[in-house]
Amino acid sequence: MIRPVAVEGAFYRPRNILKNDLDNYFNSAEISFSPSKILGIVAPHAGYVYSGKTAAYAYKYLIGRKYKTVIVLSPSHYDYFEFASVFNGDFYEAPFGNLALDKELIEKLVANSNVLRKSHHGHMVEEHALEVQLPFLQYVLGEFKLVPIVLGSQNRDIVYNLAQDLSKIVNDDILIVVSTDLSHFYNRKQAEILDDFFDLYLSNWDADGLQLSLEYKRCEACGGGCVVTLLKALENNKNAKIQVVNRSYSSDTNHDTSRVVGYLSAIIYE
């Protein structure tokens, strides 16, 4: 069973011209240092014309690296369910070739989890947040197996339990990618204040503070719980650090500062 692409031609351009777009994003992005390992990525999931360059700032650190498996954590925008859903199929279709699921790892995760289930929920509607990460991953990594996880709810119980599940299987062959945008539809000044709080908690690796801040609306992120999951899953690695590598706003592209969406990309590294 294959999960077909749903937002090709909408969030990113058709595959015959997509590589040229990605070339431009990566040529524009800059890297400022050379980590020995990349353990995790946080990247936005808006239309590429708005957030593609910001995403490329994080993904550029992956060029030349190899991973057996990539776990992508994504929020669900259209389908609400009280668990974390890993696609119950064989492949995710993507612009540069179908991506096989790492069924062995999926079975191991599901068998030992109270919150992760094999399901079509969050995958078979026109959900874009997970899909838009895949062309970037294919561009920088080439071949890898995929574990696509969509959180139908980002309540504390699901987030913390999933983080514990992931903490038991992380190793150097696994990359975790989180898909999230930041605040939505405030004016630019208000958005920057909200997003500064998110940036602060993330940069200081304060997973509990970020979770509480999201719950009390001190900051906003549609995949905020996914970010908390990533931080909690890797918090036992005392050598790991976080670097926010780029931030931007939709108004950088459309020049409308009255109603903006915030974007951020970050890497977790050693």
pLDDT at 126: 85
Asked if the model's pLDDT at residue 75 lies above 90, the reply is yes
One-letter amino acid of 156: R
Does the pLDDT value for residue 118 go beyond 80? yes
Predicted confidence band of residue 266 (pLDDT cuts 50, 70, 90): very high
Structural domains of the chain ordered from first start: 2-25+37-269 (3.40.830.10)
Rg (CA), the chain: 17
Question: Using one digit for the tens of pLDDT, what is the confidence trace for 177-203?
Answer: 999 999 999 999 999 999 999 999 999
Rounded CA-CA distance 210/218 in Å is: 9
Mean pLDDT for the stretch of residues 108-130: 95
> Using one digit for the tens of pLDDT, what is the confidence trace for 124-134?
878 999 999 99
Average pLDDT over residues 221-244: 98
Instruction: Determine how β-strand 116-119 pairs with β-strand 84-87.
Output: parallel
How many Å apart are CA 195 and CA 262, to the nearest integer?
7
Confidence of residue 73 (pLDDT cuts 50, 70, 90): very high
Q: What is the mean pLDDT of residues 11-28?
A: 97
Which of helix, strand or coil describes residue 70?
strand
Whether 47 shows a pLDDT value over 80: the answer reads yes
How crowded is the C-beta side of 110, counted as CA atoms within 13 Å? 18
Cα 157 from Cα 24, distance rounded (Å): 41
Residue 154 CA to residue 268 CA, distance in Å, equals 21
pLDDT at 220 over 90: yes
Query: Has residue 58 got a pLDDT over 80?
Result: yes
**Residue-level pLDDT at 224:** 98
CB atoms within 10 A of CB 116: 23
The pair of three-digit structure tokens given for residue 250, joined into one six-digit string:
């939709």
The helix/strand/coil state of 264 is: strand
Q: How confident is the model at residue 106 (pLDDT cuts 50, 70, 90)?
A: very high
Q: What are phi and psi of 176, to 5 degrees?
A: -110, 125
d(CA 94, CA 202): 30
